[in-house]
Amino acid sequence: MDITEKARELGLMLANSKEMELYKNAEAAMQSDTKSTILMNEYKQLQIEMVKKTRENAGTEAIEEAKQKLLAKQKEINEYPTTFEFLSAKANLEALMKKVNDIIVFSITGEPTCSDDKCKTCGGGCKG
């Protein structure tokens, strides 16, 4: 059994998975939708603004205002079907990749990785 061949096989299985298909379709739909593209670009700009204000210690009021704008844009993105479908498909694909990685880590170390509940309290990096 060649490890690299098994890795290639796993990669092909992931590439042909339902989660990857849904992600690619949602990504293509989002990229061809002008409103989706605008929403995502606006969100990225608001993130940059938020980071800039935080780094520059712009003051609590300015940072809170930037945060509220960011949250409002996130709500708008979640309410627009095309971007919502994309983000959902992306989250599902990432969950599958995490599950695969967790199985690999467990197979190597014999120790379970963080559970969602435990990582909520420790911030990650725990051993189970």
Q: What is the pLDDT of residues 32-50, one digit of tens each?
A: 999 999 999 999 999 999 9
pLDDT at 29: 97
CA 20 to chain centre: 14
Q: What is the pLDDT of residues 101-128, one digit of tens each?
A: 999 999 999 888 876 555 554 445 554 4
- Comparing 74 with 56, the larger pLDDT belongs to 74
Q: Which residues contact 3 (CB under 8 A, 6 or more apart)?
A: none
Using a pLDDT cut of 70, give the percent of the chain over it: 88
Q: Please state, in angstroms and rounded to a whole number, the distance separating the CA atoms of residues 37 and 33.
A: 6
Mean pLDDT, the chain, integer: 89
pTM, two decimals, is 0.78
Query: Per-residue pLDDT averaged across 69-96, rounded?
Result: 97
Helix residue ranges, H only, 16-80: 18-31, 34-55, 60-79
